Structure 1
């Protein structure tokens, strides 16, 4: 809407300026000069107010009969044509020539305690008068549109004096208490810049709340054309966003996980102190809002990245990391030359940004490795035993077995696609031995939740080989089942008859 209104206003201003220039720069033909001159525009002022005026003067200033008209309104109307005029009615005679029409003159003559103002100009040719009458309805519409525009519009000359303004600007100037001819906005645009956009604040001095405006200043031939629009909602949104970022910064300042957030332009916009501690990057480098590639280049120089075989492969890998983090959750573990281990997590951020989290997991990795080493040692010890051992969880699932058990029964919980339970195991065992009543008791013992005591039973396979089955409770509700080979008993010799 602002662009449409600006175009409408610019068109109206162009039309009015064109009319003034055409009116001022015309040269009358000799036939026209021979015509009798039109009566001049005449005003009589006393104490700075008009007390009498000609019909042409009323038409020029748009004044109805008896309507008050002061010196400030006269100056505002005539300055675009005659240039700067006195701020107050002069006490001495003066004469002014139109800026672009030497045949048009303004005369100021003191008359007793009053002032006589007279404007003389050659008659207007018939063709030009008809053309102006054709454009008069459009001019009126443009004048109403500019006067009622919901933003301040005004023009200043090279000395930064206001030469024209609309109603919205006049109201702002009155609210700010600015003097006539001046603007409530402190603007000094650079003549070398044809367009300049600035933000300025009005009020906030304790009497009235502050209001923010965005002012666009456009250089024109005779000065500057300005547009000011209220941007309080924009300022409020930016303040809320800045407060939210400050809150996040205070929260992230106490996190041990390093955080680096990049915007859609891949510039660093947020980081916490942990990033300085984990990466040892210079603070001035991070506050300088480096881009993403420079950030990772610096990490590589500080040996906070796994060292690649060559720089080209590292750049290709970095591109893959950025693409993965931009579209979805990405996690990678870095084993650094210093012996530390970092977990890098990349996640997409709102508005096309990327957030990276760096976590030192060296202690966690060391503990995991130590635990894995202990498990491997325990596994080696159990595998060296001759007994077949199986451990079942409190829910009856096979959780662990040693090498003799796998060799005896051909089952391994790590290789089986399905969970092996005590029911499947006892059915397998029952098929390998002669009938025995212990299988139901064993299933109940494994899943029993109350206090349990170790027990054992002797079994015989189909070849008569004896085995001992031992069931022992373990901490956490687990159960260990062992199968021990017993020496083969020799058959008794027949008694001699």
Structure 2
């Protein structure tokens, strides 16, 4: 059965079909449909095309369209008329275009016969010019999508793929997946109207996986998906994770406690030594507490000095973090238990900060013991009536007693610089009558050869006689002792010290 149609309606179908040729670009035409204009018509019997107007070829395609199924025609019209039913109802049903509410499609079903008509207004020269402008725009958009390296595809409400670009087809072929209605990307069911984002991977034939960030946006009662390759990002995250694991294994054997806080002041890394030193539960540390909570728990466990003013405690912690970020925080904590901790703050990239907690109790104890022994030694030599001075292998004065300070008017503790054997012999020489021993004494102190003890008599400018005793001691040091002369001897002579 032949169905006549006007030339104006044919031109309208040309415009509509061209828009449908690129289904992804929604451009609302400036021309609409006026009810009563000559329609584009297709006649179906038992869901197969049996007749159509010439202008309908823009929908059905060139050549023999008889026998085309209703489902195929529906698929070609869904972009503009998304509410077309899979099975038309009896009677007349009207559907308005998504692109132009003045363009109308009617389905009239009578038994096994179905009549499809599209009504639109005649096209003017203005409409043709506007259509040509938008067609050029569509071509640019089509070229951009066709050449895009990122896969783009559309899925209907059932989850079937109904359109895709060449990049999607390529990734399907590269990963050994069939190009069809089934999507190779395993996406979670999508609901709502907001854009969704998910990270998925595709297994490849060589055993590797390709990672993509898929953004999904509702479109035409379905979803439009955009995939972006993130292989480099995943590789970087994996490398960072491996690096952190390596650091964790390394820090696990360190006796120094390590606590690293990120820029949000959350604990992101710690080692077993931190658990041992702070006595904080592992589950608490694993929960990524913030920095204030971390130090609060240390205070509650009495693993840090109790703050004198608790109201300003948190402000003090803020100052601690600021100092650590500037690499100038270092404190020594004496705990109620008697332990001594050294706390050091170090800045890290991206605003992170690390705290090192070291138990220096043994070091402090050793230092105190050494200081006590030095004080004991000093008190012992201060009891001597003779003036005593000890010079190191390098000729630096390291020990002297109170008698020496009083006799030679010398206070090494208040001296600006170190006192050497040269400085000391000048003082001695100025206070004594001329004697030939001073150069020999300086050479004796600085020599690396084996040495023997010796003595010499000196006469002070006051007329008092002294005996100078020079003896080697441990570590290449030399002790010089001045005592009152018990007997008179020839000045300037050197007498060896008798053995035995």
Tell me the TM-score normalised to structure 1 length. 0.80
Secondary structure of the structure 1 residue equivalent to 2:201: strand
2:260·2:270 contact (CA, 8 Å) conserved in 1?
A: yes
Deviates more, 1:393-402 or 1:162-171: 162-171
CA distance in 1, matches of 2:57, 2:172: 26
Question: Does residue 121 in structure 1 map to residue 118 in structure 2?
Answer: yes
CA distance in 1, matches of 2:283, 2:85: 56
Partner of 1:404: 403
1:82·1:98 contact (CA, 8 Å) conserved in 2?
A: no
CA distance in 2, matches of 1:41, 1:154: 32
Question: Does residue 437 in structure 1 map to residue 433 in structure 2?
Answer: no
Partner of 1:357: 356
Partner of 2:12: none
Cα 1:216/1:379, change in 2 over 3 Å: same
2:26 equivalent among 16, 27, 47: 16
Secondary structure of the structure 2 residue equivalent to 1:356: strand
Residue-pair matches, total? 455
Deviates more, 1:149-158 or 1:97-106: 97-106
Secondary structure of the structure 2 residue equivalent to 1:160: coil
Cα 1:195/1:473, change in 2 over 3 Å: same
Shift of 1:177: 2.2
Shift of 1:124: 3.7
Partner of 2:34: 28
CA distance in 1, matches of 2:155, 2:94: 18
CA distance in 2, matches of 1:181, 1:442: 103
Partner of 1:100: 96
Secondary structure of the structure 1 residue equivalent to 2:343: strand
Cα 1:123/1:340, change in 2 over 3 Å: same
Q: Which runs of 4+ in 1 moved over 4 A?
A: 12-15, 38-42, 52-61, 63-66, 70-76, 82-87, 92-99, 105-108, 116-119
CA distance in 1, matches of 2:23, 2:348: 46
Cα 1:129/1:480, change in 2 over 3 Å: same
Partner of 2:465: 466
Partner of 1:265: 264
Secondary structure of the structure 1 residue equivalent to 2:357: strand
Shift of 1:14: 8.4
Cα 1:402/1:193, change in 2 over 3 Å: farther
1:189·1:196 contact (CA, 8 Å) conserved in 2?
A: no
Cα 1:340/1:54, change in 2 over 3 Å: farther
Partner of 1:195: 195
CA distance in 2, matches of 1:377, 1:342: 27
Partner of 1:180: 180
CA distance in 2, matches of 1:488, 1:397: 32
Deviates more, 1:123-132 or 1:248-257: 123-132
Cα 1:309/1:348, change in 2 over 3 Å: same
Shift of 1:176: 4.7
Partner of 2:160: 161
Q: Specify every segment of 5 or more residues in structure 2 that has no aligned partner in the other structure, as ranges.
A: 1-21, 98-102, 489-500
Q: Deviations over 1:368-413 (max 9, x none)?
A: 1111111111111111211111111111111121111111112232
Tell me the TM-score normalised to structure 2 length. 0.80
CA distance in 2, matches of 1:221, 1:85: 12
Partner of 1:370: 369
CA distance in 2, matches of 1:28, 1:244: 69
CA RMSD of aligned residues (A): 3.8
Partner of 1:142: 141
CA distance in 1, matches of 2:381, 2:243: 58
Q: Residues 87-486 of structure 1 correspond to what in structure 2 (within 5 A)?
A: 100-101=96-97, 103-104=104-105, 120-127=117-124, 129-130=127-128, 131-174=130-173, 175-178=175-178, 180-192=180-192, 194-204=194-204, 206-207=205-206, 209-220=208-219, 222-486=221-485
